A = this chain, B = another copy of it.
Amino acid sequence: MYPLPEGFYAPRNQWYIAAWTSEVQHQPMERWILNEPVALYRKQDGTPVALHGRCPHRHFPLGKSRVVGDAIECGYHGITFDASGQCIKIQTQSAIPSSGNIKSYPIVEKWRWLWIWMGDPAAADESLIPDHDELQFSNPDYTFVSDIYYPVPGRYMLMHDNLLDLSHLGYLHQSTIASGGVCDVPEKRTEGPGWMESERVVPETDCPPYFSPFFNYNGKVDRTFTLRYLLPCLHAGHDSFAVATSAGADAGRPLGTLRVYHAVTPGTMNTAHYFFAFGRNFGQGNVEFDRQMETGIRVTLDEDMSATREIESMIAALGHAPKELLVRSDAHCVQGRRTIERMIAAERASTPSGRTTEQAL
């Protein structure tokens, strides 16, 4: 489906972010992921569990049911599944058929996120999960404003399109975060296995006024903005400020760095999940500054959600994939789409039945 070719939705043999660790508690929650209902909960020892979210008996949502001990008990007739998805109780009979078992998804807790693997469990290799230390997401020198979640009112790829083409900053966000000509400078693109990165350097620009007090600096800065897409789910980057080259002896002295983390997980065919956080290595412990930054970023993210809703509505009104004009700044975004498309095609090639998500349900 647009912006991928017809019949292409999302790769399954991948780690996706299911939730912030803070979102999942002992009692279950429902979240649709890759167009499947998933029940997320924690065992008594805190271990996260992800089970298929539909009771195979009468299709009641397990994510709206009840956890008893470490097992989940369907809210309708009490059929109970342990954390591995094995059916362990049917109220009115002692024999438990194996056909009563439900799918359990590999789920891994890494610092602030729960990562889920919706595809073939045998292929779920934890080492494929992005390294949080490398991403600085576990760096104690940073203060994080985190655990921001948005339900996305549109198909997940619209959010990747958004994040892979920051030329929208000066327009969609012109009354919020547009600043400093970040998108007026050339984009330098690099890539490697499983990632692709965009970098923009803005030399000799004014230090953003609200950072100055923390940097204890008012002059020109060299600003470097990067965003790396770790396919298929996470975008992580930084916005770094250093004393401008023109400043002579002090030139190049680092002033401070903001780190940004965006994750997008497919929900249903026309919705997604969005997880946002940022961190900074300056102004630590300033709770009021935290609050201001969160308030500010939420206005910006509302703009992204609104654009996504409008585009999803427009596509729905058309009733078919729209033709589109490709421009130079789409190069990065198109590369992302192609990579996702190749991941899906590769999965299909390796699955004899070639079954789709929908057929699998």
| Known contacts A76-B172, A165-B77, A168-B76, A57 near B92 by CB under 8 Å | no
- CB neighbours (8 Å) of A165 from chain B are 77
Question: Closest Cβ of chain B: how far from A263's Cβ, in Å?
Answer: 21
| Known contacts A75-B171, A171-B77, A317-B268, A92 near B329 by CB under 8 Å | yes
Question: Closest Cβ of chain B: how far from A151's Cβ, in Å?
Answer: 15
Are B324 and A92 interface neighbours, CB within 8 A?
no
Are A97 and B325 interface neighbours, CB within 8 A?
yes
- CB neighbours (8 Å) of A266 from chain B are none
A93 at interface by CB-CB < 8 Å: yes
Question: Closest Cβ of chain B: how far from A31's Cβ, in Å?
Answer: 13
Give the residue of B90, B324, B358 whose beta carbon is less than 8 angstroms from that of A58: B324
Are A56 and B325 interface neighbours, CB within 8 A?
yes
A59 at interface by CB-CB < 8 Å: yes
Q: Which of A123-131, A308-316, A342-350 contacts B (4 or more CB under 8 A)?
A: A308-316
Type the 1/0 row for A304-328, where 1 means its CB is closer than 8 Å to any CB of B: 0001001100110111101111111
Give the residue of B73, B100, B161, B328 whose beta carbon is less than 8 angstroms from that of A92: B328
A167 at interface by CB-CB < 8 Å: yes
Give the residue of B61, B161, B170, B317 whose beta carbon is less than 8 angstroms from that of A310: B61
Give the residue of B76, B171, B322 whose beta carbon is less than 8 angstroms from that of A74: B171
Give the residue of B32, B61, B93, B314 whose beta carbon is less than 8 angstroms from that of A61: B314
Q: In whole angstroms, how far apart are the Cα atoms of A152 and B87 in the complex?
A: 30
Are B171 and A78 interface neighbours, CB within 8 A?
yes
Question: Closest Cβ of chain B: how far from A65's Cβ, in Å?
Answer: 9
State how many copies of this chain the complex holds: 3
Q: In this complex, what residue of B is CB-closest to A184?
A: B91
- CB neighbours (8 Å) of A107 from chain B are none
- CB neighbours (8 Å) of A183 from chain B are 91-92
A282 at interface by CB-CB < 8 Å: no
A43 at interface by CB-CB < 8 Å: no
Question: Closest Cβ of chain B: how far from A305's Cβ, in Å?
Answer: 13
- CB neighbours (8 Å) of A328 from chain B are 90, 92-93
A249 at interface by CB-CB < 8 Å: no
The 8 closest A-B pairs by CB, nearest first: A92-B329, A78-B171, A56-B325, A93-B328, A59-B314, A57-B325, A77-B168, A90-B327
Given contacts A56-B323, A59-B324, 18 further A-B contacts (CB under 8 A): A54-B314, A56-B324, A57-B330, A60-B311, A60-B314, A74-B171, A75-B171, A76-B307, A77-B165, A77-B171, A77-B172, A87-B325, A91-B329, A92-B183, A93-B327, A93-B329, A100-B327, A268-B317
Q: 28 A-B contacts, Cβ less than 8 Å apart?
A: A37-B314, A37-B317, A54-B314, A57-B326, A57-B327, A58-B311, A58-B324, A59-B311, A59-B314, A60-B307, A60-B310, A75-B171, A75-B172, A76-B168, A76-B172, A77-B329, A78-B167, A78-B168, A78-B170, A87-B325, A90-B329, A91-B329, A92-B327, A93-B329, A97-B325, A268-B317, A319-B358, A320-B358
